[in-house]
Chain A
C-alpha cells in the first residue's frame, strides 16, 4: 500500500491564483481530513469527510473548498489564494473504529 499520498510537495502561488491540492489513500478509509500547520500553532482542521459524498467544515474552513466523489480522493481547493494561506498542508485518513489517523507527507504552499 502507498498509504496517504499528497501532490504537489511544494507550490508557490501568487495572490488571487487558484489551485487544487491532491490527496489520495489506498487503504479504503472512510474518514479523510485536511489540516494546516503553522509555526507555533500546531495543526488545525480545515475540512473533513466521513465518506464519499459527505464533507463538513473544521476549525478554519474559510478560503477552502473540498469534495469527496470517491472513497480514495479528497482534494482541497483554494479558489483565490491569499498570503495568509501560506502554510504546510497535511491530509489524513482513518478507518473507524481503529481511530488511528494516517498522515500524508504534506504540501508546503507559499502565497506571495
Chain B
C-alpha cells in the first residue's frame, strides 16, 4: 500500500536553512503537500506541488521533487523561531476523493 516516510526530528539555528525530507512509495501520486502544525493547532497547508513539476518556490519555501527516487524535500530559508512546528508531508492521487496519505511528521526545533 501507500507509505510516506519522514525523519522524526530536525534542529537548526535561527537564520540557517532547514531541509525536511520525505519519501513516498505510490508512483501514481499526483499531488504532494507540505503541512505545518503548531502546538495545539490544526494543520495548515504550506505549499503543494504537482507530480509533473521538479521545483516550486514560494517566498522562503522551496519544494524539490525527485519523481524517479520518489523523494520530496522542503527547504525553509532564513529559519525563524516561529517556524518551530511539526511538518507533515502528504500525497494524494487527486480526483473526486482526494484522499491524503500523511507521513509521520518532522518536528523542527529552531534554536535562537
**Chain A residues near B (Cβ < 8 Å):** 4, 31, 33, 35, 40-45, 48, 50, 56, 58, 90, 92, 94, 96-97, 99-106
Q: For the complex, would chain A's binding face be called helix, strand, loop or mixed by DSSP majority?
A: strand
Chain A residues lying within 8 Å of B88, measured Cβ to Cβ, are: 42-43
Chain B residues lying within 8 Å of A41, measured Cβ to Cβ, are: 104
Supply 26 A–B pairs (Cβ within 8 Å), ascending by A: A31-B97, A40-B104, A42-B4, A42-B88, A43-B43, A43-B88, A43-B90, A43-B102, A45-B99, A45-B100, A48-B99, A58-B99, A90-B42, A92-B43, A96-B96, A96-B98, A97-B94, A99-B92, A99-B98, A102-B45, A103-B42, A103-B43, A103-B44, A104-B42, A105-B41, A106-B42
B residues 22-78 touching A (CB-CB < 8 Å): 31, 35, 41-45, 48
Please give the number of chain B residues whose Cβ is less than 8 angstroms from any Cβ of chain A in the complex: 25
CB pair A31–B98 under 8 Å, yes or no, is yes
Q: Which residue of A lies closest to B105 (CB)?
A: A42
B residues 77-106 touching A (CB-CB < 8 Å): 88, 90, 92, 94-105
Pick from B97, B98, B100, B102: contact of A56, CB under 8 Å = B97
Q: Please, how many angstroms separate the alpha-carbon atoms of A15 and B1 in the complex?
A: 32
Q: Please, how many angstroms separate the alpha-carbon atoms of A105 and B101 in the complex?
A: 19
Chain A residues lying within 8 Å of B41, measured Cβ to Cβ, are: 105-106
Q: Please, how many angstroms separate the alpha-carbon atoms of A99 and B51 in the complex?
A: 14
Q: Please, how many angstroms separate the alpha-carbon atoms of A42 and B3 in the complex?
A: 11
CB pair B42–A99 under 8 Å, yes or no, is no
In the complex, the 4 A-B pairs of residues with the closest C-beta atoms, listed nearest first: A42-B102, A103-B42, A103-B43, A43-B102
Chain B residues lying within 8 Å of A103, measured Cβ to Cβ, are: 35, 42-44
